[in-house]
Amino acid sequence: MKLTFALIRTSAGTSPVATALGVAILVGLFLFPNFVQSPYALHIMILFFLSTIQGEAWNIIGGYTGQYSVGHAAYFGAGAYTTMVLMQYKQIPPWYGMLAGIGIALVVSLIIGSICFRLRGPYFVLASIAVAEIMRLSAMNLKDLTNGAEGILITEIPVFKIGETVVTDFLSKVPFYYIGLVIALLTILVTWMVQNSKLGYYFQAIREDQDAAHSLGISLSIYKNIALAISAVFTSLSGSFYAIYIGFIDPPTVLALDISVQIVLICIIGGIGTIWGPVIGALVLVPLSEALRSNLIAQMIFKTGLTSEESGLGIFLKEHLAHAHALIYGILVVVVILFMPDGVLGWIKKLTAKKGRG
């Protein structure tokens, strides 16, 4: 009830144009698979949802509470591995596996929190990395449980039934699209609720000045752990979702340091500590890295006639550019940190504010 009131209040605060636009986008997103059948387009959208979930989840602990965890692969991997191990070896359907993954991620977050939150600043960053690395190395070595470096490949997902009616058989990308969309909307909603609650104010107080917050009676360890737990739940959900969607996981793809860094970058590039920052970040990163991966950039360079497909440079670009999609992450983060410290969202806001004044 309180939530509905709050929703009405904020929607009254924003302009009707913005509200209408928001509703239109939402309806458009739900109808999208009815108009677009291309599996590739759906795939891009699913990746976009996945990045949004990861970014929003990290935002709770990194953006609002100011604790830069660079070990979120730990929760992503916990979700992915729990779901896959249960499905592959115990034939437990993934939707229960997702819940189990959340449970495991919560336990992991409490352990990590109790170790790492005693440390501050750069030491916290290092400790979070160390814990994630321990998890990755364990997954590599516990071969009986995780199949080690070979990873886990699922052959088929059980049909999802309610009673006797088949809801979906997961044969196309459409069910994944809707699952991703719903989880993404859920994370955005939770972020919004956190931001507008007492909890959110506590988080932000801790971010601004830990000692001041502590002296005002905010228990640092309790609220940091709550923030981490919320963050871990959604990161784990994204991990489970990723595992079921891709159908294959191994330690380098779900538990590596690269994954942790990518999760942070989504947030940093969009703008940390804001609801829409991670969405913007995902909107920038996913198409860019996909364009590189599928060699669209190389094709574009050929079209502009800078170099031809047959020339030495052309062949080089065609062969190698696809492998370097992470390069764009590196360049983007350097540019963002140096020139737009508040992320793309903050930069846009600044530009529009200047225009308004001018």
Partner 1 sequence: MTVLLQSLISGILIGGVYALIGIGLTIIFGVMRVINFAHGDILMVGMYMTYVLFTSFGIDPFVSIVITIPLMFLFGAFLQKLFINRMQGALPQNQILLTIGLGLIMSNTMMLIYTSDYKILSTSYSSESFNLGGISISSPLAISFLITAAITILLYWFLLKTDTGQAIRATAQDREAAQLMGINVRWMSILAFGIGSALAGTAGALISPTYYIFPQIGGIFTLKAFVITVLGGMGSIIGATLGGVIIGIAESVSAVYISSGWKDVVVFVLFLLVLLFKPAGLMGKSRM
Binding site residues, partner 1, CB under 8 A: 68, 70, 115, 118-119, 121-123, 125-127, 129-131, 133-134, 137-138, 140-141, 257-258, 261, 264-265, 268, 320-321, 323-324, 326-327, 329-334, 337-338, 341
Question: Considering the complex, what minimum distance in angstroms separates the CB of residue 230 from partner 1?
Answer: 20
CA–CA gap between residue 346 and residue 355 (Å, rounded): 14
Give me the residue label for tokens 């080690």: 148
Largest Cα–Cα separation, the chain? 68
Min dist CB 49 to partner 1, Å, is: 24
Nearer to partner 1, 335 or 353 (CB): 335
Q: What amino acid is encoded at 9 in this protein?
A: R
**Which residue from 59, 73, 80, 57 is spatially nearest to 128, judged by alpha carbons?**
73
Choose between 121 and 158: whose C-beta lies nearer to partner 1. 121
Which residues share a beta bridge with 105?
A: none
Distance CA 261, CA 268 (A): 10
Query: Whole-angstrom Cα distance, residue 255 to residue 264?
Result: 14
- CB of 332: closest distance to partner 1 in angstroms? 8
Q: Residue 340 corresponds to which tokens in the numbers above?
A: 């737009």
CA distances from 208 to 55, 63, 64 (A): 21, 11, 9
> How is residue 233 written in tokens?
């739940």
CB of 231 to partner 1, least distance (A): 16
**Distance of closest approach, residue 32 Cβ to partner 1, in angstroms:** 32
Of 122 and 217, the one with the shorter C-beta distance to partner 1 is 122
Please identify, using beta-carbon distances, which residue of 320 and 350 lies nearer to partner 1: 320
Interatomic CA distance for residues 354 and 351, integer angstroms: 5
Determine the straight-line distance between the first and last CA of the chain, rounded to whole angstroms: 43
Which of 18, 115 has the CB closer to partner 1?
A: 115
Name which of 312 and 358 has its Cβ closer to partner 1.
312
Beta carbon nearer to partner 1, 9 or 120: 120
CB of 118: closest distance to partner 1 in angstroms?
Answer: 7
- By beta-carbon proximity to partner 1, the closer residue of 141 and 308 is 141
- Minimum distance from residue 43 beta carbon to partner 1 (Å): 23
| Least distance from partner 1 to the Cβ atom of residue 152, Å | 18
- Return the number of other C-beta atoms located less than 10 Å from residue 62's C-beta: 24
Identify which of 213, 97, 218, 196 has the alpha carbon closest to the alpha carbon of residue 154: 97
CA distance linking residue 176 with residue 52, whole number of Å: 15
Q: DSSP string covering 171-182, please? A: -SSHHHHHHHHH
